[in-house]
């Protein structure tokens, strides 16, 4: 038999309006009346929607995820994998897109709070001038927070990411061992963690090899196709041996610019990316890159967040997933 809210109200000896207030989580009802209505809801197994079910259980079964963008397939793949692993844990995912703007990230977090998210995952913006007040408020409210892919400097929270420093080190070391000496790295803003970790790996490889490099070879470029194209135009006359990029999209912009200027890859200049997107091996010249194990990152991110939700708080830490060097045809 299917019951209505009128049946709930009748059993609890209240008006339909009062029953509706409780079922929809609204204030203004005395605790003893609220308890009577919830008991009636449970007795009648009245579950018109997920909101009513969750009110009884005091859970939302929802996790919030903020991604910076979906135009970069890396974040689309990451969101898909996080959704899959969240579902395995009994959660559905609410997704917000920040478009690399802190104000939009804050709006997403505010929406998740209103939706009673049990935990929030954030892929940080690459903007360097940011106000993290919305994340401090999230933590103050007792809502678990995990960063994924990179982290913000200045706020304590668990973070799950690929060891991007190690990946850039392995790539640069390989290029040096194969005879390249003038290696340019196109990263993002040098103060952003995802960029300065790559620059650190690059420097480590040169220092271990006992070779010199110029800081001018470490270039701040927009981390997308157009950024790679425009930055390459500016250094063509320098004739580097190799150009590595902060991600595969940037590397594709580099390849297009070199082709437009009749520079042969890898005969004249080697090129490498970072991420190993699904189509990086399908290009006309398959791209050498560093694979970020997206499924492993997503699984660990959900695992860490669920541990926060279900257990007592522990000291925040960074969890690093090992990268994998993928050698293909764009490098010698």
Got the DSSP string for 75-126?
HHHHHHHHHHHHHHTT-EEEEEE-TT-HHHHHHHHHHHHHTT-SEEEE---S
- Domain 164-292, CATH: 3.40.50.2300
β-bridge partners, 324: 291
On the CB side of 216, CA atoms within 13 Å amount to: 5
List the chain pLDDT tens, one digit each, 332 residues.
Answer: 678 888 899 999 999 889 888 887 778 899 999 999 999 988 988 876 555 555 544 567 999 999 999 888 999 999 999 999 999 999 999 999 999 999 999 999 999 998 889 999 999 998 766 789 999 999 888 899 999 999 998 899 999 999 999 999 999 999 999 999 999 999 988 888 889 899 999 999 999 999 999 999 999 999 999 999 999 999 999 999 999 999 999 999 999 999 999 999 999 999 999 999 999 999 999 999 999 999 999 999 999 999 999 886 678 899 999 999 999 999 99
How distant, in Å, are the alpha carbons of 33, 196, 257 from that of 8? 12, 59, 68
Task: Tell which CATH classification among 3.40.50.2300, 2.120.10.30, 3.50.50.60, 3.20.20.210 matches the domain 62-162+294-321.
Answer: 3.40.50.2300
Task: Outline where 278-328 has alpha helix (H).
Answer: 294-310
Which residue, chain included where needed, has tokens 């993002």?
Answer: 188
Give the model confidence (pLDDT) of 197-248 as tens digits. Answer: 999 999 999 999 999 999 999 999 999 999 999 999 999 999 999 999 999 9
State the span(s) of the chain assigned CATH 1.10.260.40.
5-57
Residue labelled with tokens 């045809």: 329
Residue whose C-alpha is closest to residue 254's, from 219, 202, 278: 219
Cα–Cα distance measured from residue 112 to residue 170, given in angstroms and rounded to the nearest whole number: 39
Strand pairing of 183-187 and 218-220?
A: parallel
Answer whether 63's CB lies under 8 Å from 52's CB: no
What b/e string do you get for 203-240 counting C-beta neighbours within 10 Å, with b at 16 or more?
Answer: bbbbeeeeeebeeebbbbbbbbbebbbebbeebeeeeb
Q: Phi/psi at 62 (nearest 5 deg)?
A: -125, 140
Instruction: Give the Cα separation of 272 and 250 in Å (integer).
Output: 10
**Distance, CA of 257 to CA of 271 (rounded, Å):** 12
Name every residue whose Cβ is closer than 8 Å to that of residue 159 and which is 6 or more positions away in sequence: 146, 147, 148, 150, 151, 316, 317, 318, 319
Q: Contact 122/304 with Cβ under 8 angstroms? A: no
For residue range 64-98, list pLDDT tens digits in order.
999 999 888 999 999 999 999 999 999 999 999 99
Contact 149, 78 (CB under 8 A): yes
Q: Which CATH number fits domain 5-57: 1.10.10.520, 3.40.50.300, 1.10.580.10, 1.10.260.40?
A: 1.10.260.40
Picking from 194, 200, 107, the residue whose alpha carbon sits closest to that of residue 152 is 194
How crowded is residue 292: how many other Cβ atoms within 10 Å of its Cβ? 26
CATH 3.40.50.2300 residue ranges for the chain: 62-162+294-321, 164-292
User: Are 265 and 242 a contacting pair, CB within 8 Å?
Assistant: no
């Amino acid at each position: 038999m299917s019951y209505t809210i009128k049946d709930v109200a009748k059993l609890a000896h209240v008006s339909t309006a009062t029953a509706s207030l409780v079922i929809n989580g609204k204030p203004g009802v005395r605790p003893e009346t609220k308890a009577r209505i919830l008991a009636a809801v449970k007795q009648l197994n009245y579950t018109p929607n997920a909101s009513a079910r969750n009110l009884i259980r005091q859970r939302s079964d929802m996790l919030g995820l903020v991604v910076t963008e979906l135009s970069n397939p890396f974040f689309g793949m990451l969101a898909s994998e996080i959704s899959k692993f969240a579902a395995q844990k009994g959660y559905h995912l609410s997704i917000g897109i920040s478009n690399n703007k802190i104000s939009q990230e804050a709006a997403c977090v505010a929406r998740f709070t209103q939706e009673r998210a049990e935990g929030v995952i954030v892929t940080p913006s690459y903007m360097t001038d940011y106000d993290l007040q919305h994340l401090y408020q999230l933590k103050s409210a007792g809502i678990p927070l995990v960063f994924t892919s990179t982290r913000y400097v200045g706020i304590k929270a668990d973070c799950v990411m690929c060891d991007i420093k190690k990946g850039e080190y392995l790539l640069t070391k390989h290029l040096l061992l194969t005879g390249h000496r003038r290696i340019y790295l196109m990263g993002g803003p040098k103060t952003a963690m995802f960029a300065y970790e790559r620059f650190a790996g690059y420097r480590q490889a040169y220092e271990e090899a006992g070779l010199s490099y110029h800081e001018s070879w470490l270039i701040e470029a927009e981390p997308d196709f157009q950024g790679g194209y425009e930055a390459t135009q500016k250094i063509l006359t320098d004739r580097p041996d190799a150009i590595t990029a902060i991600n595969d999209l940037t590397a594709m912009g580099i390849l297009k610019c070199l082709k437009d200027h009749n520079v042969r890859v890898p005969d004249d200049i080697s090129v490498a990316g970072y991420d190993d997107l699904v189509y990086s091996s399908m290009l006309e010249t398959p791209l050498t890159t560093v694979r970020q194990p997206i499924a492993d990152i997503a699984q660990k991110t959900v695992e860490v967040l669920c541990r926060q939700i279900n257990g007592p708080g522990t000291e925040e830490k960074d969890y690093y997933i090992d990268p994998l060097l993928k050698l293909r045809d764009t490098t010698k």
